[in-house]
Amino acid sequence: MRYLLKRLGFYLLAAWVAVTLNFFLPRLMPGDPATALFARFRGMLGPEALDALRETFGLTDAPLIVQYGTYLGHVLKGDLGISVAYFPAPVLEVIGQGLVWTIFLAGTSLIVSFTIGTLLGVAAAWWRFGRVDTFVPPAAALIGSFPYFWLAMVALYVFGFRLGWFPLGHAYSDYVTPGFNVAFIADVARHAVLPVGTVVIATLGGWLLTMRNTMVSVLGRDYVNLARAKGLSPRKVAMRYAARNALLPSVTGFGMALGFVLGGSLLTEIVFSYPGQGYILVQAVRSQDYPLMQGIFLVITLAVLGANFIVDILSMWLDPRIRDSVS
Amino acid sequence: MPDLLLDIRDLCVDYVTDEGPVRAIDHLDLTVAPGEILGVAGESGSGKTTLAKAIMRILPPPAVITGGEILFKGRDILAMDDEELRKMRWREISMVFQSAMDALNPVISVGEQIVDTLLAHGSGPMESHVAPGGEQIAGALMTHGAGPAESPTLPVGEQIVDTLLAHDAASAEWARGRARKLLDLVGIPRDRLDSFAHQLSGGMRQRVGIALALAMRPSIVILDEPTTALDVIVETVILERIRELQAALGFAVIFITHDLARMLQISDRVAVFYAARLAEVAPAQELRQAPRHPYTQGLLRAFPSVKPGGPEPVSIAGQPASLRSPPSGLAADEVAAGEAPAGESAAPPSGAPPHPADGTRAPRARTS
Amino acid sequence: MSRKRAAAGTGLAAWVDAVRHDKRAAFGAGVIAFFVLLAVFGPLLVGDPTELVGIPMQPPSAEHWLGTTGQGQDVLAQLVVGTRTSLLIGVSVGLTVVFVGALIGVTAGYFGGRVDAFLSLLFNVFLVIPGLPLAIVIAAYLPSGPLTLAFVLVIAGWAWNARVLRAQTLAHRNRDFVAAAVVAGESNWRIITSEILPNMTSLLVSQVIGGTVYAIGAQVGLEFLGLGDVSAVTWGTNLYWAQNDSALLTGAWWTFAPTGIAVALVGFGLTMLNSGFDEITNPRLRLERAWRSFLVRRGHTPGRSTPVVRENA
């Protein structure tokens, strides 16, 4: 429990750093922050609306510390300002629409790629110098060297444009009714194949190589030797006595890789016009929609921190030493 | 059944390196009789642990066994396939590793690690090696030992059905019961069954290692420096416990250590390793009084005498011999032939280092 | 003194050794050498990449080997000229993240205590904040261009290096030769620069390589988003324009395929160089390989139990 509280404290600190960064960024840049932030709103907003927006970002004449307080207050209330690109929708509403799709896409691909990659890594290490070990890791490393979004472009070109097996974009077709019905779910799945497949292919190698290398070194440990000496079946030695231990660094790495994979997943969304954060982000970048960009940064950071916390709980469950570590 | 439990003939083990193989065990002959305690002494890196792991065929790469035979009850371990080895391991020969901290899996409770072992070999009745007077301890091991299928109060048919229906649960329960008894046997409170290695003291971890080694009531237990990491008091208690158990259960022990004094106390026979070869094999009594090999003489002189007024300890000068270019003229047979090479530059006892020219320590032949 | 030179020597010698003896390292070195030559001399051989030389979206032909872009520029010229900018940014960012990482990681590991607590917290926070969104918000406020790109890539990427180098410094800190230097009263700066850093040479080189792979990939990603200077010619902007000109929906694969392959080849080459080197410097991997070929040469298959090879000697 103390371990989890400590981690929670750390994530709160990280969240605070992200929020603070968000507050100071416009102020650190050359020129007047308000001008930079709201240049695009000219002509869209009346003077009163503009003042309300200034208030949200704490851009008043008050001392910096008071501005900071005002800003924190608004963030805590979930008020992240108004979007330019999706005027006049509030930033949080715009983000909310895309968040489900991003979490669905990134989450599904992460779980699939982690599972397959880790299992392949176990196989490669266990049958060291075998066929899997000879061909799969270099192939995975090669595929992993391509930018995610480039693989997405190729996948879209080959399987969508040329072969026509999968739709060319978006999360679901216009003709299905969103909701809990078979047609909708099947349609979403069909739209997800290419984006998920791309991210899985691109990230598989990372998990595979991490797991393989840790597993190879775990296989040299005395506790694995003892397990073999005890006459346990090879399967039990591999899975229960070696793979479980080798998994621990991968799980810890999972938290850190999360942000990275998410980045790639956002770029993949753009190629497939998938209506998640990545797609919204590119709209924000193109229309210099600073409130929206900052909002996305904040929300994605919070999501990653939350996911990291879940990973912490998981690794505590997997490793009894962590349970006892904080005292 | 042959008189010898284990008969190692002409065993050679090499470690493969970039520059070709390095010999770690060089034409070794050694026997173990049922119920005896054989001590194996030698400096670290002289090949002791290699021997232990070679007997079990669990030496990791880059080790290769390059010759000889290891006959266990007349069958050559070196000719067994993986499945035969799996069945032989632990049921016949078990081992206590040098460091229990490294040998116990950190994320599996000690109880589960014992249970896994028991379940891997099934719950059938086991051969008994009970020595006279050991019935009580043996009894503790054998109760529950037969598993549910042997219950005398249930009809055979029902037992079969029961076993079929609930085999896993029943045998797991049986194994847990037995794991508790094993902990009793080595003096660990039963409630430590669900503890993890890091929650136990060094002495307790090593006791768990011993409990594990006894789980299948093997005929040989190899102890690879089981007390090196422990303080003297804990060491004494544990070694005494091992002796008691050995006397009661009648298994043979191969006791590996660099502590010759300790070994002479508890062993029946002692084999002294030097530079990948056996320097000397003799009954403990004989070796203590009249060591023949110069290296053994040096080793014995390196320990303080237990008798008041005895000679001061003398350290053995120089470095452990290099395995890459082993000193010549040290094998047991030559010594036995009465040509102790005391004056040769390659000879180790209190003289010049074996390789004064290169001045480096021998390449480590250690596997861990 | 001599230890320092020896350590640095082993570091570099090991790399030379890796390239000479490991197939993967040799392959990696070959690929990288090709792209470096391309970056240095290539732009002299192709024409102006921004010049409109033909009809837009033409497939590869004798005149334009890799076809033309949506604007009618030569794809090959864009690829070659882009190599120079992209590699330059990649290598400089790779060097800088390791420099910053070493500065903070070594300081934390060497001084320990509160300094370590604070710096560790700092890089751990930067490790959990997702890099791409962070880079985007910062880049959006700065004038677009290569310097901005390099800056945000360093901000988003240094923490990983700091973490690894701190751990490595801690390991060295407890070694005898460092303890001896401390007792001998050598200054901290001297101990760090002449005792600790030289012993990490090979790790640092491998981190620079890893950092370059990261920088090239992330840079291409940011430019693809439109955060670079879209009028410059780099690998990332090539892909940005390909996407913008709907290359996919018009089937103009040649506008995006070559650039992606170039990015992947450089990344793969660097990765192979690193892993070949790892094999050379990691004694265990090396011995296992030697062990395996020893067995195979004698007609044995490596199995689970210690192999028995009886030689008829």
| Structural domain includes residue B360 | no
Interface with chain B: mutation pick from A225, A244, A327, highest number of B CBs within 10 Å: A225
Interface with chain A: mutation pick from C141, C223, C285, highest number of A CBs within 10 Å: C141
Whether C172 and C82 have beta carbons less than 8 Å apart is answered as no
Distance (Å) from the alpha carbon of A179 to chain C's nearest alpha carbon: 30
State how far the Cα of B72 lies from the Cα of B4, in Å rounded to an integer. 8
| Structural domain includes residue B107 | yes
pLDDT of residue B158: 41
Question: Which DSSP string corresponds to B25-64?
Answer: EEEEEEEE-TT-EEEEE--TTSSHHHHHHHHHT-PPTTEE
Instruction: Count how many Cα atoms sit within 13 Å of the Cα of residue A130 in the half-sphere of its side chain.
Output: 14
| Structural domain includes residue B333 | no
User: CB–CB of C138 and A25 under 8 A?
Assistant: yes
SS3 content of chain C, % helix, strand, coil (to 5): 75, 0, 25
| Strand order through the sheet with B220-224 | B93-96, B220-224, B252-257, B37-41, B269-274, B277-283
Question: Which DSSP string corresponds to A180-199?
Answer: SSHHHHHHHHHHHHHHHHHH
Whether B247 and B264 have beta carbons less than 8 Å apart is answered as no
Whether B131 and B192 have beta carbons less than 8 Å apart is answered as no
Report strand pairing: B269-274 vs B277-283. antiparallel
For residue A118, give the 3-state DSSP assignment. helix
| Closest in C140, C239, C259 to A293, CB measured | C140
| Structural domain includes residue B357 | no
Q: Calculate what percentage of chain A has a pLDDT beyond 90.
A: 17
Q: Is the pLDDT of residue B7 over 90?
A: yes
For residue B177, give the 3-state DSSP assignment. helix
| Structural domain includes residue B240 | yes
Tokens of A226: 């003892």
**Which chains border C (3 or more CB–CB pairs < 8 Å)?**
A, B
| CATH number for the domain that contains residue B210 | 3.40.50.300
pLDDT of residue B307: 53
pLDDT of residue B164: 37
In 3D, which of B40, B44, B54, B43 has the Cα closest to residue B9? B54
Helix (H) or strand (E) holding B161: helix B156-185
Tokens of B147: 């598993």
Average pLDDT for C182-201? 84
| Closest in C286, C306, C307 to B18, CB measured | C286
pLDDT of residue C94: 95
Q: Is the pLDDT of residue A111 over 70?
A: yes
Distance (Å) from the alpha carbon of A223 to chain B's nearest alpha carbon: 4
User: Whole-model pTM?
Assistant: 0.81
pLDDT of residue C97: 95
| Closest in C136, C257, C302 to A293, CB measured | C136
The residues with which B76 forms a beta bridge, in sequence order, are B71
Whether the bond into B62 is cis, omega within 30 of 0: yes
Q: Give whole-number Cα distances, A231 to B50, B75, B84, B91, B104, in Å.
A: 19, 18, 10, 8, 15
- Chain A residues closer than 8 Å to B97 by CB: 222, 225-226
Domain total for chain B?
1
| Structural domain includes residue B167 | yes
DSSP 8-class letter at B225: S
DSSP 8-class letter at B97: -
pLDDT of residue C31: 94
| Closest in A219, A220, A223 to B105, CB measured | A223
In chain A, what are the domain boundaries? 98-148+205-326
Whether C178 and C172 have beta carbons less than 8 Å apart is answered as yes
- Domain that includes residue B166, residue range: 87-267
User: CB–CB of C291 and B64 under 8 A?
Assistant: yes
Nearest CA in chain A to B117: A230
- Chain A residues closer than 8 Å to B116 by CB: 227, 230, 232, 236, 240
Distance (Å) from the alpha carbon of B205 to chain A's nearest alpha carbon: 13
pLDDT of residue A50: 74
At residue A36 the predicted structure's pLDDT band, cuts being 50, 70 and 90, is: low
Strongest mean pLDDT among B159-163, B363-367, C99-103: C99-103
- Using left for φ > 0, alpha for ψ between -120 and 50, and beta otherwise, residue A192 falls in alpha
Chain A residues with CB under 8 Å of a chain B CB are 219-223, 225-234, 236, 240-241, 244-245, 248, 318-321, 324
- Chain B residues closer than 8 Å to A233 by CB: 86, 120
Interface with chain B: mutation pick from C17, C298, C306, highest number of B CBs within 10 Å: C306
Q: What is the pLDDT of residues B78-131, one digit of tens each?
A: 999 888 888 888 889 999 988 878 888 888 888 888 888 888 876 443 434 444
Residue with tokens 């010549």: B328
User: CB–CB of A231 and B89 under 8 A?
Assistant: yes
At residue B287 the predicted structure's pLDDT band, cuts being 50, 70 and 90, is: confident
Interface with chain B: mutation pick from C280, C288, C305, highest number of B CBs within 10 Å: C305
Q: What is the pLDDT of residues B192-231, one digit of tens each?
A: 888 888 888 888 888 888 888 888 888 999 998 887 777 8
Q: What is the pLDDT of residues A185-241, one digit of tens each?
A: 888 888 889 999 999 999 898 889 889 988 988 888 888 988 888 888 888 888 888
- Report chain A's C-alpha Rg in angstroms: 24
- Chain C residues closer than 8 Å to B27 by CB: none
| Structural domain includes residue B156 | yes
